[in-house]
Structure 1
Amino acid sequence: MKSHHSHHNTNIAKKWKTLSGQNNWDGLLDPLDLDLRKYIIHYGEMAQSTYDTFDNSKISKYAGSSRFSKNNFFSKVGLDTGRHPYKYRVTKFLYATAGMDVPDAFIFKSISREAWSKESNFIGYVAVAEDETVGLMGRRDIVIAWRGTVLSIEWVNDLSFIQVSGSDIFGHGVGGGDPKVHQGWYSIYTSDDPRSRFTKTSARNQVIPEIKRLVEQYKDEEISITTTGHSLGAALATLSALDIVVNNVYKPKDCPEKSCLVTSIIFASPKVGDSTFKNIFTRYNNLKLLKVRNFLDIVPNYPLLGYSDIGEQLLIDTTKSPYVKTPGNFLNWHNMEGHLHGVSGTQGSRGGFEVVVNRDIALANKNMDNLKDEYLIPVSWWIWKNKGMVQQLDGSWVLKDYESDADEDEFDLR
């Protein structure tokens, strides 16, 4: 097994620019290149981990936060095993609020009345590849993973299509055109709340200084920046990637054309902006976007009018999988783990479905009822042990559903 990994990793180290879209994934998507398949799953699992750590229990006093601390985050979300040769560490948790005029459905006003913060929710993290991984990956990778909506995707039905100007962040398009972006996504990215310890600065003003800090820290190395997310998280990944490039957060002076890659690998993404937004996005040769879309998922169609598609698309169709219940439903088709199962087995225009990467199909039932009953995998099996109830020495039981780092403040805002 070891030799297989090391061989695969040498491939990645040599090919990483191609896999990160330097040539717009030309010739790699159909049929889907095996290394690219693993690469997409690698980033997709980081996007999925934002859901796996999110505490959405109404009764928890930590509702809306990350259950797991930064120090052992990747081991707790199951991304630190032999199947995951790339080691990262989380350097910052990100929190978001939203402007008051955005519909409730897609914000995550904290779920519990006595939650750790009524105004803010955990919305993602920044992570950086550890030293031992740099050689395997061919560079120092910095990842920004954004969380999508957890509680419901009924927001699609209520989605207002109001656009707001994004020129404060993204500048102007050709001929001074004003880029318009979806009000909801933009609000979550840019809103702050003076009442909150966690979103006194907006998600944007948490992430951009952190990327600047890491780029400065590793300025003598080759760096890549990768943003990822699912659903709403995919929209935030798109906004943050463009922000980083437009505002020279990552554009070292000696950067050759198409180098200094900033890549978004996103899943089930709704549309983000209008044609002016698109023309600003496509202006940059070092900015690349690959979106994975499940054939029956309707979210990528939204908003319907006045928005432009950007980037390259990998189309998957989970209904072709022999493992999943068919036809499934709206939630199954949109589900993130379902997308990763689709990437592991899609055969594109060749037809059929064959899982060709070492990825357990059980994950498709992590928080859904995706798999056929014959596979004997419990439905929605990803839960905190005993729902967080821990027995004390005197025999009583206490809810302990949040894990803090002993050596850091309960909510470390560094």
Structure 2
Amino acid sequence: MPMDTAVAAGWGPFVQAAYDQFFAAPGVVNPASMSLPAGYSLVRTIQMDDLSGSTPVFFGFLAAGGTPTVQVIALRGTATPAEWVDDLHWAPVPFAQVSGGGRVAEGFLDLYDTMSTMRPGESGVAAGTRGLVSAIDPAVPLVVTGHSLGGALSTLLVADLAANDALKPQAWTFASPKVGDANFAARYGELSTVSWRIYNIVDPVPYFPLDPLDNYQHVNTGYAFDSLTYARWSLGCAHSLNTYLYGLSPGTVTLDMACRK
């Protein structure tokens, strides 16, 4: 499947919705409702715990809607100091969820292992991807999308779902760091169907983890762009989801004022 930048940009607002919900109400683990792209309904919320041992926090959601109908799992990126600590735990550890899954960064897997899901606004938690799978209709296309840390977690989730369930999720990630070693990347390539890892060549995050032994390798398939053609450089601008979406679809996205040249 060739890269369609308009399609790619269309998944960005789902990730932005996850960010917006967290920043608007960081203490709300399981919102009963939230603002989503038009025509979509909230099916499940997704929670994870950081390494601080704190209570779960809101990380994303499963929504369904559109014409034709599609299901979307969207995961936000790093938003708290504790999550930055998770990001920096780079020791390679086995990805036991997938047979032959190689090794992945410890911090990403530690977060992933705490995943839970809830019915919006209700009590009762279903742990791990099993709880999420129970809410997914296998007859409806599934897209998994995330930005930054959310891109890394999305990559783990796509591999897990594709290996262990009758699902063929599409992956559309923005600014994802490297997730695992060459064995993980190869296994992911065997399992994934449509997969686009979108990165800005002047954004430092996709080049992490920095590994002198070259253990970490990117998964397929990369799509690169250069934000310096339209935005000033700063770490914040280079990594911003808004900068990514503007680069993909400048006719439909307004670049943040602070990043304009």
TM-score when scaled to structure 1?
0.55
CA distance in 1, matches of 2:86, 2:49: 22
Of 176, 190, 215 in structure 2, the residue corresponding to residue 283 of structure 1 is: 190
1:180 maps to 2:86? no
Query: What is the alpha-carbon distance in structure 2 between the residues aligned to residue 191 and residue 96 of structure 1?
Result: 5
SS of the counterpart of 1:53? helix
Match of 2:252 in 1: 358
Give the aligned residue type for 2:206: P
Indicate if the aligned counterparts of 1:90 and 1:125 stay in contact, CA closer than 8 A.
Answer: yes
Q: Which residue of 2 aligns with 1:371?
A: 260
The offset of 1:302, in angstroms, is 0.8
Aligned partners of 2:87 and 2:149 also within 8 Å? no
Separation in 2, partners of 1:311, 1:46: 22
Indicate conservation of the 8 Å contact 1:242/1:287, yes or no: no
Name 2:161's counterpart in structure 1.
Answer: 244
1 CA distance for matches of 2:91 and 2:201?
26
- Is residue 89 of structure 2 the alignment partner of residue 160 of structure 1? yes
Q: For 1:94 and 1:206, how far apart are their aligned partners in 2?
A: 10
TM-aligned CA distance change 1:319 to 1:198, over 3 Å: farther
Question: For the structure 1 residues 205 and 153, does the alpha-carbon distance in structure 2 shift closer, same or farther, using more than 3 Å as the test?
Answer: same
Q: 1:152, CA displacement in angstroms? A: 5.7
Which residue of structure 2 lines up, in the alignment, with residue 228 of structure 1?
Answer: 145
1:12-161 to 2 correspondences below 5 Å: 21=1, 25=2, 28=3, 36-55=4-23, 63-65=26-28, 69-70=32-33, 73-74=35-36, 79-80=37-38, 87-98=39-50, 102=51, 104=52, 118-130=54-66, 133-134=67-68, 140-151=69-80, 155=84, 159-161=88-90
Change (3 A) 1:192 1:157: closer
Please give the secondary structure, in 2, of the residue aligned with 1:233: helix
Question: Deviation at 1:181?
Answer: 1.1
| CA positional deviation for 1:148 | 0.7
Q: Which has the larger radius of gyration?
A: 1
CA distance in 2 between partners of 1:187 and 1:240 (Å): 13
Select which of 222, 225, 248 maps to 1:316. Answer: 225
Runs of at least 5 residues in structure 1 that lack an aligned partner in the other structure = 1-20, 29-35, 57-61, 81-86, 110-117, 135-139, 174-178, 251-260, 345-354, 373-414
User: Which aligned runs of 4 or more in structure 1 are off by greater than 6 angstroms?
Assistant: none
Query: Is residue 195–residue 221 contact of structure 2 (8 Å, CA) maintained in 1?
Result: yes
**Partner Cα separation in structure 1 for residue 123 and residue 149 of structure 2:** 20
Match in the other structure for 1:266 = 173
Confirm or deny that 1:171 pairs with 2:99: yes
Q: Name whichever structure is richer in strand by fraction.
A: 2
Name the SS of the counterpart of 1:186 in structure 2: helix
1:298-344 deviations in Å (ceiling 9; x for gaps):
111111221111111111111111xx3x2x21121111111111112
Find the aligned partners of 1:320 and 1:42 in 2 and give their Cα distance: 22
Instruction: Quote the residue 1:334 is aligned against.
Output: 239
Cα deviations across residues 3-57 of structure 1 (Å, max 9, x unaligned)? xxxxxxxxxxxxxxxxxx3xxx2xx4xxxxxxx222111111111211111136x
CA distance in 2, matches of 1:192, 1:293: 25
Tell me the matched-pair count: 253
Is residue 295–residue 316 contact of structure 1 (8 Å, CA) maintained in 2?
A: yes
| Structure 2 letter corresponding to 1:170 | V
CA distance in structure 2 between the aligned counterparts of 1:171 and 1:52, rounded to whole angstroms = 36
Q: Evaluate the alpha carbon distance shift between residue 272 and residue 199 of structure 1 in structure 2; reply closer, same or farther with a 3 A threshold.
A: farther
TM-score (norm 2): 0.85
* C-alpha RMSD of the superposition: 2.8
Counterpart CA distance in 2 for 1:42 and 1:55 is 21
